[in-house]
Amino acid sequence: MDSVATALDRIWPSELRTDRLLLRPVTTEDGLLVHELLTDDRVRAHLGGPVTEDRVAARQAAYPTTAGAFTVVRVADQRPIGLVTIAVDHRCEGRAELSYQLLPAAWGEGLGREAVAAAVSWWTDAVPGGGPLVAVTQKANSASCRLLEAIGMTVVDELDEHGARQCLYTPAGDKDDSDLRWLRLLAARRDAVERRRGAQARATAAGQNLPDDLAALTPEELVRLCPARHGAYGRICARMADHAGPSPGPGTGRRVDRLADDG
């Protein structure tokens, strides 16, 4: 599977056409559009609010060189009305993230839905090995949730980010949907890595050397375990001589098994 960045570089630049829209790469001439989108209270209501002029300038400079960043142009009057971007999702390696913003003057006509659907189809068709595509939107942003659901995306997770509850969407499909399989696989791998890193960071030196299967420990090794649940995700650390945890009692073996199951 190509990395998201590699896949984007391979198929960029691209232009997409729908009945009413043209999606083309962002250019320097789109600076005014970028400024409008990033400073409008209504557009930014669920995106952390309007951004500073410094950040606007940085985005204006970055967009024209960003693979996967489309300007949405209304064909009827050739006016740029929004941005749709597919980029690397920095929450999870190997995953692409869809984002979109539309000027309020273009709301209520189904143009956002048309633009986002075109971008999703483009990614799915052009990058079959590109891994999962997700979109993250505030749960309180009902209009954005309806848009994603209207084009066939489905919620697969919720998370807290930027001080608000977020819904994570991915294109729906049958039980063999490749994007959803990749999403779950990558999430499982990331979780395993985080568990390992957390245990290594928090456990004592002796605890870091504990086997994954605590049932394999001898009775002598069991009495050295810390009953205080130190370590990430319920991993048990080993007590050192200066450890402040309580001494294990007669039920230590049963306690270890229960804590291991909790993790």
pLDDT (tens digit, 9 = 90+) per residue, 196-232?
665 555 555 566 666 666 667 777 766 666 655 454 3
pLDDT of 154 strictly over 50? yes
| Span 37-96, pLDDT tens digits | 999 999 999 888 899 999 999 999 999 999 999 999 999 999 999 999 999 988 877 789
Are the C-beta atoms of 230 and 203 separated by less than 8 Å?
yes
Q: Is the peptide bond before 250 cis (omega within 30 degrees of 0)?
A: no
Query: 């009902």: which residue's tokens?
Result: 142
State the pairing for strand pair 96-102/133-138: parallel
Question: Which of 55-64, 111-120, 166-175, 181-190 is the least confident region?
Answer: 181-190
Mean pLDDT over all residues of the chain?
A: 78
Query: Shortest CA distance to 22 belongs to which of 71, 77, 88?
Result: 71
pLDDT of residue 162: 79
Q: Which tokens go with 167?
A: 């819904």
Query: Shortest CA distance to 63 belongs to which of 40, 37, 44, 42?
Result: 37
Q: What residues contact residue 227 under an 8 Å CB cut-off, 6+ apart?
A: 245, 246, 248, 252, 255, 259
Burial of 144 (0-12, 13-18, 19+ CB in 10 A): buried
pLDDT of 161 strictly over 50? yes
